[in-house]
Amino acid sequence: MAIDLENLKHAPKELGIHELIGKRWSPRSYTEQPVSDADLKTIFTAAGWAASSSNIQPWRFIVGRRGEETYDKIFDALASGNQSWVKTVPVLVASVAAKFMPAKDGEAPRPHEWAKHDVGAASATMCLQAIALGIHTHGMAGFDRELIRANFNIPEDFEPVAVWAIGYLGSPDALPDNYKKMETTPRERKPLDQYVFKHWNEPAKL
């Protein structure tokens, strides 16, 4: 029997959030269908229009397609568990954050305390633009940051943040059993009273 991933993974319509946000989730099963240059350009252009502290735009994205050396270098840095399902993903991306604010008037550069926040904002915007194009994404923390740094000669004033899979949704049946179970389990989110406060741990009345 076909699995209704829309009902399992999409946010309930009665929540009233935008359709793009409701449809965004992080699958592990992808087809090998390539993502076009035009769609990738649109996705990363959207990322570049995310909110950015002082408009510094500290994000960098290293993009590789299956069959390219860049893809292989990102793949090699992934944890083995991620490698087990990523094999069919057509695009892998490493996100990187600038660690320092631009120096002004000969001053020493100051640490950019909000850089990872801004890279996260750009990544979220990237994901929503992808969903608008019928493309899914999955962010991963399970990777070797120093291997990513070495593989791409990333300088010390930048820091690898995450790895992203980008591609078209595949069948859960293609996954190993443990990941298939995750793929077919309904998504849940914490209720607002657990993270929207009037005072610390005192829920806001919304």
pLDDT of residue 3: 65
Helices (H) and strands (E) in the chain, counts: 8, 6
List the one residue out of 204, 53, 191, 189 whose CA is nearest residue 120: 53
Measured distance CA(21)–CA(23) in Å, rounded? 5
Q: What pLDDT, on a 0 to 100 scale, did the predictor assign at position 2?
A: 57
User: Which element (helix H / strand E) includes 161?
Assistant: strand 158-167
| 82-101 residues labelled b (16+ CB within 10 A) or e (exposed) | beebbebbbbbbbbbbbbeb
Tokens of 54: 């002082």
Tokens of 3: 């699995």
For each of the chain's 206 residues, which pLDDT tens digit applies?
456 777 789 999 999 999 999 999 999 999 999 999 999 999 999 999 999 999 999 999 999 999 999 999 999 999 999 999 999 999 999 999 999 998 887 788 899 999 999 999 999 999 999 999 999 999 999 999 999 999 999 999 999 999 999 999 999 999 988 899 999 999 999 999 999 999 999 999 99
User: Own/partner pairs for 66-70, CB < 8 Å, 24+ apart?
Assistant: 66/32, 66/34, 66/90, 66/91
Find, among 52, 30, 44, 23, the residue nearest to 126 by Cα.
Answer: 44
Round to whole Å and give the CA distance between 78 and 24.
Answer: 23
Classify domain 5-173 by CATH number: 3.40.109.10
What pTM does this model have? 0.95
What pLDDT, on the 0 to 100 scale, is given for residue 109?
Answer: 84
